[in-house]
C-alpha cells in the first residue's frame, strides 16, 4: 500500500471500530478523524499526513511537560524491567508508590498528607465521595451522604462523577444519582448557605469544587470565594473537596490551584498533570485528620481499591514527571507565560469587535465571544479555523456559552506564546 492508501485504511478502520470518547458520532462517521496523530515533540503534535499543530490544550489539559520526553520513557523502561506492576491491596506495597505518596505529601497544600491512588480523575472523584461518606459514617453520622457541587463544574464520567458534574448534558446522557447530588450557582455563597440549611447539614457530606473550572469554560472565582466556602464548610460540618484534576501540578502558576486562595481542602482530587499523560494515574489526597480518623475508627477491611491503585510503572513515571517540573521550574514558567498569554489576549480583545471578555490564570485561558445573532456561535468556527492555521484549542458552548479555551503545555516559550496569539489573531480576523 502507498501512504495515502494506508491513511485511508486507518480512517475507515477508525470509523468502523473505534467509538470515540466525548465525540460527535455523526461528525466522526461523516468526516472521519480530523487528525490521526503520530508524533509529539514539545508543544507540537504531527499527524500521519504530515500536518504539524501546536497542542494548545496540552491534549486534555494534561501534557504539562510537553510531548516526546525520552527521560520519561527511560524511567518507564527501567521500572518495567524491574517490576511493571504488583498488587497494593492489603499489606502489599511497592517502592515507586511509597516514594510518590511521600513526595505528594510534601508538595500538597496544608495538612493533606496521604494519598489513595486511582487510574484517573473520574475514579478520584468517586473515591473522594465514597471516602467522605465513610468518614462521616465511622464518626457516627452515616446520614451525611449528599455532595454539593456547582452548575458549570466537570468532575468526570463515572456514575458518581457524572452526577456531581454541573454541566447538564453530561447528566442527561445516562441519568444521575440526583437526590444525593445537588448543584449551586457558580460563585454564590449565599445560595450555598441556603441550600445547606434547606437540605439539612446532617444529610450533606461535602462541598466539591474545582479551584478554576476547566471544561466548563475556564471560570476563575472571585478572590474571597474559597475563604467564604471554607467558612461555610466549617460552620455546617461539611468536608471541602477540591477537584485539582486540571489545576494541579503547576497549571495555574502554583503547584495547586487552591493555593491562590489561601485555604486548605480536606480532600483533593488529582490526576492528569501528575504524569503529564505519560501513564494513567490519579488519586485523592486526604487531610491528616481524616487519615487519623480512618486509622482509629475504620474497622474491618477498608473496602475500596482498584486493581491499578499504586501501579508501580505509573508511579515511577509520576516521580520522573514531578522531577522534571521542579528541575525546569515549570510552575513559575506557567505563571510568567500565563501572564504573557493574558496580555496577548487582552490585546486581541482591544483589536476585535467580537470578543466580550478574556481571562487566564497561569496557563488556563479563555476568550469569551459576544452574542452572535447572525450565524452559529463563533467558538466552533474559531476552533476549526485555528486548527487549519496550526493551533488546537477547544470550544465551550455549554449553558449558552460561546468561549474558546486554551491551555498549552507548561514548557511553552515566550516566542511560542506569541505564535499562539498570532494564530488566534489571524483566525479571529478571518
Which positions lie near ligand PLP, rule CB under 6 A?
A: 60, 120-122, 125, 154-156, 210, 214-215, 243, 245-246, 271, 282
Q: CB 131 → ligand PLP: shortest distance, Å?
A: 16
Shorter beta-carbon distance to ligand PLP: residue 217 or 282? 282
Q: 372: which residues sit within 8 A by CB, 6+ positions away?
A: 354, 378, 402
Q: CB 271 → ligand PLP: shortest distance, Å?
A: 5
Q: Which residue is nearest to ligand PLP (CB)?
A: 121
* Contact by Cβ (8 Å): 264, 107: no
Residue 258 is given by DSSP the state G
Distance, in Å, from the CA atom of 327 to the CA atom of 47, rounded to the nearest integer, reads 30
Task: Please tell me whether residue 49 adopts helix, strand or coil conformation.
Answer: coil
Shorter beta-carbon distance to ligand PLP: residue 196 or 212? 212
CA distances for 143 relative to 138, 140, 266, angstroms: 11, 9, 19
Distance, in Å, from the CA atom of 5 to the CA atom of 174, rounded to the nearest integer, reads 38
Name the grid cell of 420. Answer: 499562539
Q: What is the rounded end-to-end Cα distance, in angstroms, of the chain? A: 38
- Please state, as a whole number, how many other Cβ atoms lie within 10 Å of the Cβ of residue 327: 9
Q: CB 121 → ligand PLP: shortest distance, Å?
A: 2
Q: 147: which residues sit within 8 A by CB, 6+ positions away?
A: 129, 132, 163, 164, 180, 181, 182, 204, 205, 206, 207, 208
Shorter beta-carbon distance to ligand PLP: residue 268 or 423? 268
Q: CB 6 → ligand PLP: shortest distance, Å?
A: 31
Q: CB 118 → ligand PLP: shortest distance, Å?
A: 9
Pairing of strands 146-150, 204-209: parallel
Q: CB 171 → ligand PLP: shortest distance, Å?
A: 15
User: For cell 472523584, what's the residue?
Assistant: 125
Shorter beta-carbon distance to ligand PLP: residue 258 or 421? 258
Shorter beta-carbon distance to ligand PLP: residue 116 or 378? 116
Backbone angles phi, psi at 176, to 5 degrees: -140, 170
Distance, in Å, from the CA atom of 262 to the CA atom of 260, rounded to the nearest integer, reads 6
Task: Please tell me whether residue 295 adopts helix, strand or coil conformation.
Answer: helix
Q: CB 120 → ligand PLP: shortest distance, Å?
A: 3
* Contact by Cβ (8 Å): 363, 410: yes
Shorter beta-carbon distance to ligand PLP: residue 94 or 165? 165
Q: CB 228 → ligand PLP: shortest distance, Å?
A: 21
Shorter beta-carbon distance to ligand PLP: residue 115 or 423? 115
Shorter beta-carbon distance to ligand PLP: residue 120 or 362? 120
Amino acid at each position: 500500500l502507498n501512504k495515502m492508501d494506508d491513511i485511508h485504511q486507518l480512517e475507515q478502520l477508525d470509523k468502523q471500530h473505534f467509538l470515540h470518547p466525548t465525540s460527535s458520532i455523526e461528525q466522526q462517521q461523516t468526516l472521519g478523524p480530523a487528525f490521526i496523530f503520530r508524533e509529539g515533540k514539545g508543544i507540537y503534535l504531527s499527524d500521519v499526513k504530515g500536518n504539524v499543530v501546536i497542542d494548545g490544550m496540552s491534549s486534555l489539559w494534561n501534557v504539562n511537560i510537553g510531548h516526546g520526553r525520552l527521560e520519561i520513557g527511560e524511567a518507564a523502561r527501567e521500572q518495567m524491567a524491574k517490576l511493571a506492576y504488583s498488587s497494593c491491596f492489603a499489606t502489599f506495597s511497592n517502592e515507586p508508590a511509597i516514594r510518590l505518596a511521600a513526595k505528594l505529601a510534601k508538595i500538597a497544600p496544608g495538612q493533606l498528607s496521604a494519598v489513595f491512588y486511582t487510574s484517573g480523575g473520574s475514579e478520584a472523584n468517586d473515591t473522594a465521595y465514597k471516602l467522605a461518606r465513610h468518614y462521616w459514617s465511622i464518626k457516627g453520622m452515616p446520614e451525611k451522604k449528599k455532595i454539593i457541587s456547582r452548575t458549570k463544574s466537570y468532575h468526570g464520567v463515572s456514575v458518581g462523577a457524572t452526577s456531581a458534574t454541573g454541566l447538564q448534558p453530561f447528566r442527561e446522557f445516562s441519568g444521575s444519582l440526583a437526590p444525593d447530588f445537588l448543584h449551586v450557582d457558580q460563585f454564590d455563597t449565599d445560595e450555598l448557605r441556603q441550600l445547606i440549611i434547606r437540605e439539612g447539614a446532617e444529610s450533606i457530606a461535602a462541598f466539591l469544587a474545582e479551584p478554576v473550572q476547566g471544561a466548563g469554560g475556564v471560570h476563575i472565582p472571585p478572590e474571597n470565594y474559597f475563604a467564604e466556602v471554607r467558612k461555610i464548610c466549617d460552620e455546617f460540618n461539611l468536608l471541602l473537596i477540591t477537584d485539582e484534576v486540571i489545576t494541579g501540578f503547576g497549571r495555574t502558576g502554583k503547584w495547586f490551584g487552591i493555593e491562590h486562595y489561601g485555604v486548605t481542602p480536606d480532600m483533593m482530587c488529582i490526576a492528569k498533570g501528575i504524569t503529564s499523560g505519560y501513564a494513567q494515574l490519579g488519586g485523592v489526597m486526604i487531610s491528616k485528620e481524616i487519615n487519623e480518623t480512618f486509622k482509629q475508627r475504620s474497622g474491618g477491611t477498608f473496602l475500596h481499591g482498584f486493581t491499578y491503585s499504586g501501579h508501580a510503572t505509573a508511579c515511577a513515571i509520576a516521580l520522573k514527571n514531578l522531577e522534571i517540573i521542579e528541575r525546569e521550574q515549570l510552575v513559575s514558567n506557567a505563571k510568567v507565560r500565563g501572564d504573557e498569554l493574558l496580555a496577548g489576549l487582552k490585546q486581541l480583545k482591544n483589536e476585535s469587535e467580537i470578543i466580550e471578555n478574556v481571562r487566564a490564570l497561569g496557563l488556563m485561558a479563555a476568550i469569551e465571544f459576544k452574542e452572535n445573532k447572525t450565524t452559529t456561535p463563533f467558538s466552533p468556527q474559531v476552533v476549526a479555523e485555528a486548527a487549519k492555521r496550526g493551533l488546537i484549542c477547544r470550544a465551550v458552548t455549554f449553558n449558552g456559552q460561546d468561549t474558546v479555551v486554551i491551555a498549552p503545555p507548561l514548557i511553552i516559550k515566550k516566542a511560542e506564546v506569541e505564535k499562539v496569539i498570532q494564530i488566534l489573531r489571524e483566525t479571529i480576523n478571518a
